[in-house]
Structure 1
Amino acid sequence: MDGRDWGLFLQPYEQAVEELKVKFKTLRTELKAREAYAPIEFVTGRVKRISSILEKAKRLSVPMDKIETGIEDIAGIRIMCQFVDDIRRVADLIRVRKDLQLVYEKDYITNYKESGYRSYHMIVEYPVQTAIGLKNVLAEVQIRTLAMNFWATIEHSLNYKYKESLPEEVRLRLKTAAEAAFLLDTEMSSIRNEIIDSQRGFEEKSNVVSSVLSDIQELYFFHRVREAVQFQLRFNELWEQEDAFAIRVLADEIRSALMRAKKGGGA
């Protein structure tokens, strides 16, 4: 083993993970604003532990001076999606990005592993600006559904417990569970449009309610107390009646009243 400073060695990978997490979370926010639906559910990331790096280098016969290119997942990003189709969309979005370079892809969804493992992997080269200049680091982006991730997390824990030598019974039960997880994904995909429409409706209702309450509070700021109180009472009544359409109409009325208040017009 060489005498490298591991903290210094891993620093660019830690920076890459933090920057990529922010970029993919920002992508999620932008897509949700543009389309009222984002194919990204949430994003996580991690830098491989030193012990895991050493174990993988030994298993793959990677020399210590070749670790930066021989081990491609020291920096890891995981993107979770609701549907299998979302995985394809996210992969397409990553391919056209100009702030990273795609090295290659591994489709473990179409070509799933013997164990039942399913996920979509993209190895990318990401430029990190360090104190001594630009450094390109490799990172692995895993894209999977929530069901795939649940299964993979359990498998990873069991492999760690049994040192990669799973008992046959456990291996078979895991494979059965993988098929069940894939059937769940398939079933959810069959009603994808209904699920998305429902989520969009909920999001729209939530945004309208937030807008109504925020605008009513702003009317108080402009000393339009009587109007604010009347709008609040109407909103309370419509909320009890669960009249979403009438609440949207009320939102427009409140916004118009607020615009008049800002211009100094009469009530």
Structure 2
Amino acid sequence: MIENWQHFLLPYQQAVNELKVKLRGMRKQYQDEEQHSPIEFVTGRVKPVESIKEKMVRRHVQPDRLEQDMQDIAGLRIMCQFVEDIYKVVDLLRQRSDMTILEERDYISNVKPSGYRSYHIVIEYPVQLITGEKRILAEIQIRTLAMNFWATIEHSLNYKYQGAFPEELSARLQRAAEAAFRLDNEMSEIREEIKEAQNLFSYKKSTQTAPADAGAAKPKEQE
């Protein structure tokens, strides 16, 4: 068994920190170009030790195979406004040279029976340590805000029922998932209107926070 979990997880935490900076940097580049960013915001985490141990038992993962067989110890989540943005982000990640995509799972086109929708990408990412380079696995989940709301609720309920949802609750969750996806589709239909309105709002906000006029009175000590 792993004796020093803090040491084992250190490169995973470094990977999460670095990837958050890089993914948020992609969003900033779109903003600097005054373009719509397909990335709304980014979160990341390292799976807690107890969750790793529980999954090892549930998935029959041996300690010496943990780094190879558990793909989501390092996890990133990218939130998007529109479904179309998800596939744009996927294309952007495919073009990057600082990570290698190993696997893609499209749960949007191939929705899970529970109603779960998201796009999962498993990458291999090189982390530079004082002992040299270490290539680790990380999972990136890309979803809309509506998909994330549903998935967060379903995940919380799963802790209570351990996946064995009562039939009525399961049916309600499936209907809620379809309602969330209908909302995404409606937003996609009017996305150009939404993006135009957001651009106008951003412009107005920037003009309101512009520096004071250059001809304004100077403080006495500068006169």
What is the rounded CA distance, in whole Å, between the counterparts of 1:3 and 1:89 in structure 2?
A: 39
User: Could you list the per-position Cα deviations for residues 167-204 of structure 1 after superposition, in whole angstroms to 9, with x for gaps in the alignment?
Assistant: 11111110110000000000000000000000011111
Partner amino acid, structure 1, of 2:135 = N
Structure with higher Rg: it is: 1
Q: How does 1:31-110 map to 2 (within 5 A)?
A: 31-110=30-109
Per-residue deviation, 1:3: 4.1
Q: What runs of 5+ residues in structure 2 fail to find an aligned partner?
A: none
Q: How does 1:242-257 map to 2 (within 5 A)?
A: none
Large movers: runs of 4+ above 4 Å: none
What is aligned with 1:228? none
> In the superposition, relative to structure 1, how do residues 3 and 196 fare at CA in structure 2: closer, same or farther (>3 Å)?
closer
What is aligned with 2:187? 188
Partner amino acid, structure 1, of 2:83 = V
What is aligned with 1:140? 139
TM-score, normalising length: structure 2: 0.95
Q: What runs of 5+ residues in structure 1 fail to find an aligned partner?
A: 226-267
What is the rounded CA distance, in whole Å, between the counterparts of 1:109 and 1:72 in structure 2?
A: 20
What is the rounded CA distance, in whole Å, between the counterparts of 1:28 and 1:175 in structure 2?
A: 32
- DSSP-derived class of the 1:46 partner: strand
- DSSP-derived class of the 1:143 partner: strand
TM-score, normalising length: structure 1: 0.79
User: Could you list the per-position Cα deviations for residues 145-185 of structure 1 after superposition, in whole angstroms to 9, with x for gaps in the alignment?
Assistant: 00000000000000011122111111111011000000000
User: Could you list the per-position Cα deviations for residues 227-251 of structure 1 after superposition, in whole angstroms to 9, with x for gaps in the alignment?
Assistant: xxxxxxxxxxxxxxxxxxxxxxxxx
What is the rounded CA distance, in whole Å, between the counterparts of 1:37 and 1:94 in structure 2?
A: 17
User: Could you list the per-position Cα deviations for residues 94-145 of structure 1 after superposition, in whole angstroms to 9, with x for gaps in the alignment?
Assistant: 1101111111100000001000000000101111111211101100000000
Per-residue deviation, 1:78: 0.2
Work out whether residues 2 and 63 of structure 2, in 8 Å CA contact, stay in contact via their aligned partners in 1.
no
What is aligned with 2:177? 178
Work out whether residues 83 and 188 of structure 2, in 8 Å CA contact, stay in contact via their aligned partners in 1.
yes
What is aligned with 1:156? 155
Per-residue deviation, 1:224: 11
Work out whether residues 47 and 72 of structure 2, in 8 Å CA contact, stay in contact via their aligned partners in 1.
yes
What is the rounded CA distance, in whole Å, between the counterparts of 1:86 and 1:139 in structure 2?
A: 21
Q: Percent identity?
A: 54
More helix by proportion, 1 or 2?
1
What is the rounded CA distance, in whole Å, between the counterparts of 1:169 and 1:39 in structure 2?
A: 36
What is the rounded CA distance, in whole Å, between the counterparts of 1:3 and 1:91 in structure 2?
A: 34
What is the rounded CA distance, in whole Å, between the counterparts of 1:91 and 1:22 in structure 2?
A: 17
What is aligned with 2:9? 10
TM-align CA RMSD: 1.5
What is the rounded CA distance, in whole Å, between the counterparts of 1:197 and 1:183 in structure 2?
A: 22
| RCO comparison, higher one (Cα < 8 Å, 6+) | 2
What is the rounded CA distance, in whole Å, between the counterparts of 1:51 and 1:161 in structure 2?
A: 17
What is aligned with 1:209? 208
Per-residue deviation, 1:31: 1.0
What is the rounded CA distance, in whole Å, between the counterparts of 1:85 and 1:155 in structure 2?
A: 24
